[in-house]
């Protein structure tokens, strides 16, 4: 069946043949990338919206302190927003995690044969263009005819789960399904489905029942407005007065400070000193004036590109916005843009410079739309437009925000001028004194500016909180106080899920893959937030109190304020907010591509975009593997410990009964040796932690650095002889610990080999559900698992130790960056880390391929774990970052490989009637003594 597509850049719309489904093609009009939805034969009905708990990091809570997300499995650094740097494949250095899209022409074009019906072909109106349609009947009918849907459903693609520590990093485990929640397989299937709108345009537009009575500002608010206006106008005047004072003092000294020159003696030496004493303050004062003037001409920070909605392509969205603006009594925005934040905001088109006109831009976060129902979304927009009903207060607030941001840049921002001044101070010549004078003066001025910034921020926050209270009342009058409270709590959940989605992006990017729809990925995370985490999150929301420097009141105060308006509002239609959009899925994918283009530092190829449903299934497999790993090792798994697995994969046993008995014997021995193994692991961790400090101290002392404090590095005295002796003692101790690990690890390997061998037996085909699938997976994973567990991990432990020693030494950087002995010690540690990374690369090799999905197709283990070229021996920071990335990726890969193999063995044990073994509290015990005869 034909697929409806529309370009959010130029408004081109058509129905194309279904063979283009799921591809990214070139828009024939503007040449932008255009995501074509997958063909749907029978779309599922939309899920019912969940008005459950929530409050995000955003639309209403700039002052909110959201609860941290539980740890998740990861192989790279997890971002806030935007995400942090991850090492892309083929890069020499860790770079930004996201890259721009390919240039125009990189996507396959749409041909005339591909187009069935041309729907819309019109240019996007400029800001303020009056062509935006109202709720006309034709527009309603056209919008109703289109496939638009993206049902609000917490069940779409689950992700969250409680986590447990896995060595140096965290690896998550997914909680089993509970009553009322779908299984992970069901969720993954739903993540790939599209839905139709559940409401018609006529139903939505008819839901507006009148206009909201304007919120009258109180006397306290008006007086506060005058005080804040006076204060915020005074602060820039103080800054200008500071510049004038510095310029006048420099000029006055230049014209009156030459007296010492006239009194200087006749000797050339005394004359040079007099000239220097005269010119140095002038140079310092002139430089200070330039430093103070520079911010007045600094360019504002560049804004990222956004995707503007075309009124012709999304008539119902604009009609909905018009209806809210009429109800609130606010001007209609001249431009509506979308992004991938869990947020909505309305601002002036040109920032503070346009405060005297009414041109507004409304920014809508698509995850917000997908996560709220119609009433909640209408309330959020009423809140935003309520600000613009406040007239002078909103304009003044816009100016205040600009002034506060400007002061923050003055205080905190550093640029090339500061770096050049630091170089002048380090030059070691006559200009050093000038540089020191300038730095002292700048330090004093910045302290003054910091005080002004804090005063201005504290004063302005009072008015901003009052404005939030007033805007909240508009929201409550639009949808009722009950919906207002549910929106607050819902946004908290969406904010937490958004951070989880960005963590998922970091994990995917280790495989050069990215989710094709960030909105769906956010909802996938919503569904997997455990009940205990939700409860804790709501507790944090309820317990937070409004602070002096909070721009937004606490949710508790805001909910209490909203309850003054009563439980009912003017807009009462239920249903998903996505009903407003013709093709929400396509729009969300396009916005996701735009987000990657802004955030990444290198090109994102279309084939790197992976359906969210596939990512969810992969995450399900990873989570199951972590749980299986925990059971298999009796909760004693240590990711950095090697496992003695033979390189040759197991084959079917000659005697299956004998192999089954060997499996039972290994399980019993495993339980018996577990307590000794756990104790040895504890001792190993302690010894390795101390060894890191001793190695750092030894290299620093060998370089002649005198700033080593013995107690901080686990030494009795800060002497090289003692550090070397301690290192040798710890190395010897770790060798003596080795026999304590062998019994347990040998039984793990024996159990694993016996189980995989039995899986290859034809006798197990009928007894193990889906035996062929498990067999294929085990065969594909075993070579990489045996290689990593047996050959790579010993080299990785050496990298972990070298990186830890470098990290300890870098902790002394402050105040020692000019100490040559310290620098030499750090370079020695960096060189050791470089050598161990080179050894690790050799151990990894590229003969064995990475066994999971990768955006670049088939890649070797070395290419997966390490950058294309290892940083040089003296490149301290790149070495530190590259080694951390390698440690993350290899440990995560080890957990994933052994976890999936352990699950395969558990299938065999279950077929044999063997229950999962358990380690008794006392460390002794036996596994069930059931006979295992095939």
Distance CA 774, CA 759 (A): 8
The runs of H, that is alpha helices, within 761-853 are: 771-787, 793-810, 820-844
Q: Summarize pLDDT for 631-640 with one digit per residue, the tens.
A: 999 999 999 9
Q: Find the helix or strand (DSSP H, E) in which 118 lies.
A: strand 115-120
Q: Say if 436 falls within a structural domain.
A: yes
**Helix axis angle, 481-509 to 374-388, nearest 10°:** 100
Residues 804 and 891 placed together within one structural domain of the fold: yes
Mean pLDDT of 820-834: 95
pLDDT-wise least confident of 53-62, 101-110, 162-171, 556-565 = 162-171
Q: Is residue 703 one of the residues assigned to a domain?
A: no
Cα dist. 393→221, 228, 557, 844, 916 in Å? Answer: 9, 10, 21, 63, 66
Averaged pLDDT, 256-275: 66
Q: According to the model, what pLDDT value does residue 395 have? A: 67
Q: Look at residue 5 and tell me whether its pLDDT is greater than 80.
A: no
pLDDT grade for 549, boundaries at 50, 70 and 90: confident
pLDDT value of residue 102: 38
CA distance 472 to 16: 44
Which residues on adjacent β-strands are paired with residue 96? none
702 located within any domain: no
288 and 416 assigned to the same domain? yes
Which of 398-407, 794-803, 853-862, 921-930 shows the highest mean pLDDT? 794-803
Q: Are residues 570 and 468 in the same domain?
A: yes
Does the structure show a pLDDT above 70 at 425? Answer: no
Least confident stretch, 312-321, 473-482, 543-552:
543-552
Are 352 and 235 contained in the same domain?
Answer: yes
What spatial distance separates the first Cα and last Cα of the chain, rounded to whole Å? Answer: 52
- State which of 118-122, 352-356, 462-466 shows the largest mean pLDDT: 462-466
Q: What is the pLDDT of residue 525?
A: 92
589 plus 653 within the same structural domain: no
Residue 481, domain member (yes or no): yes
279 confidence band (pLDDT: 50, 70, 90): confident
Looking at the structure, tell me whether residues 312 and 439 fall in a common domain: yes
Say if residue 101's pLDDT is above 70: no
Per-residue pLDDT for 788 more than 60?
A: yes
pLDDT at 76 over 50: no
Q: What pLDDT is recorded for position 785?
A: 97
If you average pLDDT over residues 105-133, what whole number do you get?
A: 44
Which residue did the predictor score with more confidence, 7 or 710?
Answer: 710
- Tokens in use for 854? 């990768």
Assign 804 a pLDDT band (cuts: 50, 70, 90): very high
815 vs 534 pLDDT, higher one: 534
In this structure, the answer to whether residues 554 and 673 fall within a common structural domain is no
Residue 269 lies in a domain: yes
Is a pLDDT exceeding 70 seen at residue 539? yes
How much of the chain exceeds pLDDT 90, in percent? 40
- Asked if residue 635 is part of any domain, the answer here is no
Q: What is the pLDDT of residues 844-900, one digit of tens each?
A: 999 999 999 988 889 999 999 999 999 999 999 999 999 999 999 999 999 999 999
Average pLDDT, the chain: 76
**Same domain, residue pair 754 and 851:** yes
The tens digit of pLDDT for each residue in 599-627 reads 885 667 777 899 999 998 998 899 999 99
**Residue 570: inside a domain:** yes
pLDDT at 765 over 60: yes
Residue 402 in domain: yes
Return the pLDDT at 603.
Answer: 67
Tell me the percentage of the chain whose pLDDT exceeds 70. 69
Q: Per mean pLDDT, which of 27-31, 383-387, 472-476, 740-744 is the most reliable? A: 740-744
Q: Indicate whether 663 and 589 sit together in one domain.
A: no
The whole-number pLDDT of residue 619 equals 87
Length of the chain in terms of residues written: 934
Q: Which of 114-123, 194-203, 922-931 has the highest mean pLDDT?
A: 194-203
What's the pLDDT score for residue 592?
A: 92
Cα separations (Å) of 288 from 257, 374, 415, 474, 920? 18, 56, 15, 49, 72
> Predicted confidence band at 118 (pLDDT cuts at 50, 70, 90)?
very low
Residue 446 has φ and ψ, to the nearest 5°, of -65, -35
Determine the average pLDDT of the residues in 736-745.
Answer: 95
pLDDT exceeds cutoff 80 at 417: no
In this predicted model, what pLDDT tens digit does every residue of 441-467 receive, in sequence order? Answer: 777 777 877 887 787 777 778 777 888
Whose CA is closest to 741, among 666, 674, 789? 674
Which pLDDT value is given to residue 873? 94
What DSSP assignment string belongs to 380-434? Answer: HHHHHHHHHTTTHHHHHHHHHHHHHHHHHHHHH---HHHHHHHHHHHT-STHHHH
pLDDT at 688 over 50: yes
For the residues 164-185, what does the mean pLDDT come to? 38
Q: Evaluate if residue 699 carries a pLDDT over 90.
A: yes
Is residue 828 over pLDDT 80?
yes
pLDDT of residue 283: 79
Three-class SS state of 89? coil
- Higher pLDDT: 738 or 49? It is 738
How high is the pLDDT of residue 414?
64
Number of domains the chain is built from: 2
Greatest mean pLDDT range, 92-96, 265-269, 927-931: 265-269
More confident of the two residues 872 and 922: 872
Domain with 585, as residue range(s), is 1-599
Q: What is the pLDDT of residue 796?
A: 97
Confidence of residue 171 (pLDDT cuts 50, 70, 90): very low
Residue 341: its pLDDT value, please? Answer: 93
> Which of the pair, 237 or 499, is modelled with greater confidence?
499
pTM of the model: 0.69
Whether residue 424 is found in the same domain as residue 331: yes
Residue at which a domain ends, from 582, 599, 616: 599
329 and 229: one domain? yes
Conformational region of residue 73, where left means phi above 0, alpha means psi within -120 to 50, and beta covers everything else: beta
Report which of residues 621 and 211 the model is more confident about. Answer: 621
What pLDDT sits at residue 210? 75
Q: What is the 3-state secondary structure (H, E, C) of 423-463?
A: HHHHCCCCHHHHHHHHHHHHHHHHHHHHHHHHHHHHHHHHH
pLDDT class for 191, splitting at 50, 70, 90? low
- One domain for residues 684 and 583: no
């Amino acid at each position: 069946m034909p697929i409806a597509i529309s370009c959010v850049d130029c408004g081109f719309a058509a129905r194309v043949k279904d063979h283009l489904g799921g591809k990214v093609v070139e828009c024939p009009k503007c040449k932008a990338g255009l995501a074509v939805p997958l063909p749907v034969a029978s779309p599922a009905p939309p899920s019912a919206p969940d008005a459950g708990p929530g409050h995000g990091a955003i639309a209403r809570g700039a002052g909110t302190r959201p609860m941290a997300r539980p740890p998740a499995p990861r192989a790279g650094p997890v971002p806030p927003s935007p995400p942090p740097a991850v090492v892309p494949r083929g890069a020499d250095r860790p770079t930004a995690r996201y890259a721009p899209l390919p240039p125009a022409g990189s996507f396959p074009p749409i041909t005339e044969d591909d187009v069935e019906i041309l729907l819309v072909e019109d240019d996007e109106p400029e800001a303020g263009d009056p062509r935006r349609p109202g709720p006309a009947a034709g527009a309603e009918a056209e919008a109703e005819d289109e496939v638009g849907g993206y049902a609000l459903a917490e069940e779409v693609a689950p992700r969250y789960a409680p986590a447990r520590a896995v060595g140096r990093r965290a690896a998550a485990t997914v909680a089993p399904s509970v009553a009322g929640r779908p299984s992970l397989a069901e969720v993954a299937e739903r993540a790939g489905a599209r839905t139709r709108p559940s409401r018609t345009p006529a139903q939505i537009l008819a839901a507006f029942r009148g206009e909201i009575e304007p919120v009258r500002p109180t006397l306290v608010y008006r007086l506060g407005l005058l005080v804040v206006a006076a204060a915020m106008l005074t602060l820039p005047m103080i800054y200008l007065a500071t510049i004038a004072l510095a310029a006048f003092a420099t000029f006055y000294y230049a014209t009156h400070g030459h007296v010492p020159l006239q009194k200087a003696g006749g000797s050339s030496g005394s004359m040079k000193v007099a000239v220097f004493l005269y010119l140095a303050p002038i140079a310092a004062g002139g430089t200070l004036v330039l430093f103070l003037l520079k911010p007045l001409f600094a360019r504002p920070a560049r804004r990222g590109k956004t995707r503007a909605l075309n009124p012709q392509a999304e008539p119902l969205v604009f009609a909905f916005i018009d209806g809210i603006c009429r109800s609130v009594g606010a001007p209609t925005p001249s431009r509506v843009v979308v992004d991938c934040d869990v947020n909505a905001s309305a601002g002036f088109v040109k920032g503070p410079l346009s405060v005297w006109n009414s041109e507004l831009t409304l920014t809508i976060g698509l995850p917000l739309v997908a996560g709220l129902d119609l009433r909640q979304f209408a309330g959020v927009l009423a809140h935003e437009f309520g600000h613009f009903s406040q007239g002078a207060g909103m304009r003044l607030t816009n100016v205040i925000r600009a002034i506060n941001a400007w002061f923050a840049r003055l205080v905190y921002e550093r640029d090339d001028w500061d770096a050049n001044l630091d170089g002048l101070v380090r030059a070691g010549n006559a200009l050093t004194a000038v540089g020191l004078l300038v730095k002292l003066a700048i330090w004093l001025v910045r302290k003054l500016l910091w005080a002004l910034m804090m005063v201005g921020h504290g004063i302005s926050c009072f008015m901003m909180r009052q404005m939030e209270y007033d805007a909240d009342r508009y929201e409550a009058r639009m949808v009722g106080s009950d919906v207002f409270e549910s929106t607050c709590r819902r946004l908290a959940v969406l904010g937490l899920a958004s951070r989880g989605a960005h963590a998922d992006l970091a994990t995917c990017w280790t495989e050069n893959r990215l989710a094709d729809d960030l909105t769906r990925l956010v909802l996938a995370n919503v569904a997997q937030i455990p009940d205990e985490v939700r409860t804790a999150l709501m507790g944090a929301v309820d317990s937070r109190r409004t602070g002096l420097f909070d721009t937004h009141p606490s949710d508790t105060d805001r909910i209490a304020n909203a309850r003054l308006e009563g439980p009912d509002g003017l807009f009462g239609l239920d249903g998903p907010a996505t009903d407003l959009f013709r093709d929400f899925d396509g729009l969300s994918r396009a916005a996701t591509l735009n987000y990657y283009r802004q955030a990444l530092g290198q090109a994102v190829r279309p084939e790197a975009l992976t359906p969210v449903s596939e990512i969810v299934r992969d995450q399900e497999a990873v989570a199951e593997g972590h749980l299986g790993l925990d059971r298999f090792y009796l909760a004693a798994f240590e990711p950095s410990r090697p496992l003695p697995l033979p390189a040759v994969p197991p084959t079917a046993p000659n005697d299956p009964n004998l192999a089954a008995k060997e499996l039972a014997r290994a399980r019993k021995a495993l339980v018996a040796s577990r307590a000794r193994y756990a104790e040895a692991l504890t001792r190993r961790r302690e010894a390795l932690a101390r060894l890191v400090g001793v190695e750092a101290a030894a290299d620093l002392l060998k370089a002649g650095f005198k700033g080593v404090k013995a107690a901080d590095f686990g030494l009795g005295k800060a002497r090289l002889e003692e550090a070397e002796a301690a290192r040798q003692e710890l190395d010897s101790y770790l060798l003596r610990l080795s026999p304590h690990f062998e019994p347990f690890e040998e039984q793990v390997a024996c159990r694993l080999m016996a189980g995989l061998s039995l899986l290859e037996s034809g006798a197990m085909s009928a007894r193990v559900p889906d035996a062929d699938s498990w067999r294929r997976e085990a065969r594909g994973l075993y070579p990489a698992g045996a290689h990593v567990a047996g050959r790579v991990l010993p080299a990785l432990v050496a990298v972990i130790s070298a990186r830890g020693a470098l990290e300890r030494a870098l902790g002394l950087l402050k105040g020692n960056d000019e100490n040559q002995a310290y620098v030499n010690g750090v370079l020695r540690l960096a060189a050791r880390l470089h050598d161990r990374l080179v050894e690790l690369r050799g151990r990894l090799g590229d003969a064995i391929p990475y066994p999971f999905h990768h955006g670049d197709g088939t890649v070797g283990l070395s290419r997966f774990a390490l950058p294309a070229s290892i940083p040089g021996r003296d490149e301290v920071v790149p070495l530190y970052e590259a080694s951390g990335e390698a440690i993350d990726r290899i440990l995560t890969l080890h957990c994933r490989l052994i976890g999936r193999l352990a699950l395969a063995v558990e299938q065999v044990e279950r077929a044999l009637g063997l229950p999962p073994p358990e380690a008794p509290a006392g460390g002794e015990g036996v596994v069930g003594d059931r006979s295992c005869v095939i």
